[in-house]
Amino acid sequence: MPERTNPTLATPLTLPSGQVLPNRLMKAALSEGLADDAGGPDDRLPRLYSRWADGGYGLIITGNVMVDGRHLGEPGNVVVEDERHLDGLSRWAKTTQDGGAKVWLQLNHPGRQANPILGSGATVAPSAIGVSIPGVPAPRELTGDEIGEIVQRFATAANVAETAGFDGVQIHGAHGYLVSQFLSPLSNQRTDEWGGGIENRARFLLEIIRAIRAAVRPGFGLGLKLNSADFQRGGFSEDDSRAVVAMVSAEEVDLVEISGGSYESPAMMGRPVVSSSTRAREAYFLAYAETVRAIAADIPLAVTGGFRTATAMADAVAEGHCDMVGLGRPAIVAPNAGRLLADDGATVLPSQSIGLPIPARVRASVPTIKTLEGALDLQWHTDQLHRMGAGLEPDESRPVWRTAVSATRRNGIDAFRSRRGATSGGEAGSGPDSKALRKFRMERAIGRHVANPTVAFASRMGLVSTLATQLETTGRKSGRTRTIPVAASFDDTGAWLISQHGARAGWTLNIEADPRIRIRHGDRWRTGVAEIMRDDDVEARTRTFAPHPALGGVTAVVFRTLQSDPVSVRITFDDA
């Protein structure tokens, strides 16, 4: 069993592999998005990690690194498939270790949560079941051979990490990514050896653990990030999670970090709802960690999420509820959080919570404001990582509107920048006809893979009646009903829509042929007649889509990023 004889935050922790962590504070994984165009770590990553290297942590976990360059989770992911980025990886590891901490590379495959505009080919998953977000394309089911190949990709990446000088790796088995997808009965409905009961659903994870151990030396660290649950009805439950911990306890694993949620039920992001007892103890998943303490046997447990005071952290470790305390957002605002606790005697770590200047009466009438604030809060903290990567200090006074602009640039315009420059030379890359073709393909890709999923994401976040909904038109060629996600601004007599790509969009061509439509308004479908309003001021119209006038500028920026030749569409209801 891990040392539990009155341990403190300063007590070293010896892992099952023999690796010794100098203290019980862990800088948890934070997705940086700071890779270069080739998927390697650029100069901003060592610059950022030099701040954490001197932060007083015992263990530093990197942001998730992809094992397959064809499937990326977000713009700026580092990819490790072979040794092509070895020099950059080595600089990253060495810079982080200079302060005495151990550094582990977090390895991940996004599966069906891959960003379709960044990857190559269809997304993949255990089963051909998409996330429950309208407009996001369903994945392709992996074959048995492909599953084995992905297992080896994890092992190869771990071997490269060891060669580069990292002290270990962490398998990302949480938050709805591929390992988590195999574990969940909602996303894994296979009937072969990779699906069914939890023993088969855990096979993918166990094979990855064994393949990594076979590819690295005995003293190399190996950790796992695991959901306590995915908080979805019929999904990966706490009982399933405890069963996985029991299976993992028989493997050569050094540390299990407890988390929870997925992008469909994001308990790990925003502002989770917690009980009063959890709030008093601060850590979101500490109660669950206590229930698996004995099951985990000799494997130490880390808990991340919610810790802010030195007392709560010290108590959690001293009482044996967890062996390490993970710090995420506090390590962004205060990269030296470990030293503040150990050397400066800090009792409370600084943290920032982003809010919008919205009157209480408006907030009460628009419940989605809190959700929007949670999303902006995440992006605000990402801004701070990018500032430190640029050699700047965190800016605690950074205004929200700047975050909205930078987030749009990161996840909108920048996602296409490398693809724009990728086509050159030959018949496919020159001449006015090819430029028009590239423009058309870009607009189509934006519509399918950015605009539609963006509206669908808004729908998932609870903005169905005020911003995101579904529109039914009649196919001009097929005569069949076509349903797409759209952004809509409703009023008493109808709704306004924005066609991001003008009259060339398929659904606008459909309504020109047959203007009769159906549109979902709250909990019911309304019928009406649609008309393209070419003389309408689209820029002004986009501002009316905001849930509150104070957010009009943010809404306009988002629309402007996604559109090419927009036009307003007016729907007039004709039902009672």
Beta strands in 491-523 (DSSP E): 494-499, 516-521
Kindly indicate the confidence band of residue 246, based on its pLDDT and cuts at 50, 70 and 90. very high
What is the pLDDT, as a whole number, of residue 247? 96
* pLDDT at residue 464 tops 60: no
401 neighbors 356 (Cβ within 8 angstroms): no
Q: Which tokens hold the place of 574?
A: 């004709």
pLDDT of residue 430: 39
Show the tokens assigned to 167. 């002290």
Indicate the range of 355-369, 450-464, 493-507, 543-557 predicted with least confidence.
450-464
Record the tokens describing residue 572, joined without a space. Answer: 């007039």
The per-residue DSSP string of 92-142 comes to: HHHHHHTTS-EEEEEEE--GGGS-TTTSSS--EESSS---SSTTSPPPEEP
- Looking at every residue in the chain, the average pLDDT score rounds to 82
Residue 227 has pLDDT above 80, yes or no: yes
Averaged pLDDT, 381-393:
93
Q: How far apart are CA 343 and CA 196, in angstroms?
A: 51
Residues 396-422 have pLDDT tens digits of: 888 887 887 777 766 654 443 433 333
pLDDT higher at 45 or 485:
45
Integer Cα distance of 468 and 547 in angstroms: 11
Tally the C-alpha atoms within 13 A of residue 83's C-alpha that lie toward its C-beta.
6
pLDDT (mean) for 76-95:
97
Report the pLDDT value the prediction gives residue 268, as an integer from 0 to 100.
Answer: 47
Q: What mean pLDDT comes out for the span 465-485?
A: 80
Cα–Cα nearest to 45, from 58, 66, 31 = 31
Residues 168-209: tens digit of each pLDDT: 999 999 988 999 999 999 999 999 999 999 999 999 999 999
Q: Is the pLDDT of residue 563 over 60?
A: no
Task: Report pLDDT for 450.
Answer: 53
pLDDT at 436: 44
* Least confident among 10-14, 132-136, 267-271, 343-347: 267-271
pLDDT digits (tens, 9 = 90+) for 519-560: 988 778 999 999 999 888 887 787 777 655 555 555 555 555
How many whole angstroms separate alpha carbon 277 and alpha carbon 232?
22
pLDDT of residue 427: 34
Size (the chain), residues: 576
Instruction: Please give the model's pTM, rounded to 2 decimal places.
Output: 0.72
| Predicted confidence band of residue 235 (pLDDT cuts 50, 70, 90) | low
Query: pLDDT tens digit string along 302-318?
Result: 998 878 899 999 999 99
Neighbours of 271 (CB within 10 A): 11
In 432-513, which ranges are E strands? Answer: 468-474, 481-490, 494-499
Average pLDDT estimate for 51-60: 96
pLDDT range class, residue 355, cuts 50, 70, 90: confident
- 3-state secondary structure (DSSP) of residue 443: helix
Cα 448 versus chain centre, distance: 20
